Amino acid sequence: MNRWGLGALLVALLAVAVLLGVRFGSVRIPVSEVWAALTGGGDATTRDIVLRLRLPRVLLALLVGGGLAIAGATFQALLRNPLAEPYILGISGGASVGAVLVLALGWAAAGSWVLPLAAFAGALLAITLVFRVATATGRVMDVRVLLLAGVVVAAFFSACIAFILSVSPARTIQSAVLWIMGSLAGATWRSVIVAAAYTLPSTLLLIALARPLNLMAIGEDTAHYLGADVEGVKRLSLIVAALVTAAGVAVAGVIGFVGLVVPHAIRLLVGSDHRALLPLSFLAGGAFLALADLVARLALAPTEIPIGVITAFVGVPFFLVLLRRSVSIA
């Protein structure tokens, strides 16, 4: 499929996702009233619903979904594995430990910023541990060791979460489980600004690394001979992709499979050229998560399904198909 045509289609899909996300919910708002609210008109209640509740939520879905998708495409390029996704480095485990610890200690009541900050700090701790292990034998970062380190760190953080929950009251356990399943219900303009501050510059930086990522997809030795700074590109792209994932987890909880499903679907449509794959993955990831959030809100209304459940319903069958194809090819 032509990349420009797909890009135009995804932009249109993003616009539709924003309109649907702002219009539908527990109260359906006509398009005319949505437009009036966005332009400063309409009644106060409608403006409050549109501008304070639904619009920040939709924009946060676009940023988190786009960030997870482009991070997934980057990890798949570096690890040369279509089954790789952002949580492979244990980032979600570290963020979850930070969030669950705050909930267990009762610090979340101190302010709306405490839990996201703790989740981000936990994610950074996971990134640091994984990178230290991957570079323990020298300056060269072995992607195989990186992958194994991520699995080990994730297992360690899972044990930490289990221990914290085992000594916590039932209310804390319920809050922690809901956060771990992911949700955009707590979206505010502050969380949108935080996500944008990390996601948008990082996205532009990863897109700028598209050419060396293309070279590294052929092979690291070949990329080195063609002039690419292989170790520099690996470190920079991994750190940036990990920070994007950490920012998404900090503001929305653990939302899996976006970084797996979206990049692979785009790769099937336009090929493996990262100059097209990365920006298109960002657009598709944003649209995918915004629509998934809409389903989460409406499927069992007025009860809201955690968005991580929706993405898992889509991602698990997709993962199994990919795994079966990889085994048959091998």
Walk along the chain (330 residues) in steps of 10 and give the mean pLDDT of each run: 88 94 87 87 86 94 95 86 75 86 79 77 85 73 76 89 88 81 88 91 94 80 73 85 86 87 89 92 96 91 87 82 62
Whole-number pLDDT of residue 141: 65
> Whole-model pTM?
0.88
Whole-number pLDDT of residue 110: 64
Residues 6 or more apart whose CB falls under 8 angstroms from that of 157 comprise: 90, 93, 94, 96, 97, 122, 126
> Residue ranges of the alpha helices (H) in 228-273?
230-252, 258-270
Mutual angle of helices 274-298 and 189-208, in 10-degree steps? 160
In angstroms, rounded to a whole number, what is the distance separating the alpha carbons of residues 236 and 231?
9
Confirm if 69 and 262 have CB atoms less than 8 A apart: yes
Whole-number pLDDT of residue 202: 93
Whole-number pLDDT of residue 319: 72
Task: Find where tokens 């990082």 sit.
Answer: 202
Total domains in the chain come to 1
Confirm if 290 and 18 have CB atoms less than 8 A apart: yes
Q: Residue 240: give its domain's CATH number.
A: 1.10.3470.10
Eight-state DSSP code of residue 299? T
How close are the terminal C-alpha atoms of the chain, in Å?
A: 27
Domain that holds residue 285: 3-329
Containing H/E element for 170? helix 170-180
User: In 184-316, where do the E strands start and end?
Assistant: none
Whole-number pLDDT of residue 117: 82
Residue 269's identity, in one-letter code, is: L
Whole-number pLDDT of residue 137: 65
Whole-number pLDDT of residue 180: 82
Confirm if 202 and 244 have CB atoms less than 8 A apart: yes
Residue 30: cis peptide before it, omega within 30 degrees of 0: no
Residue 299's identity, in one-letter code, is: A
Quote the radius of gyration of the chain (alpha carbons, Å). Answer: 20
Whole-number pLDDT of residue 140: 64
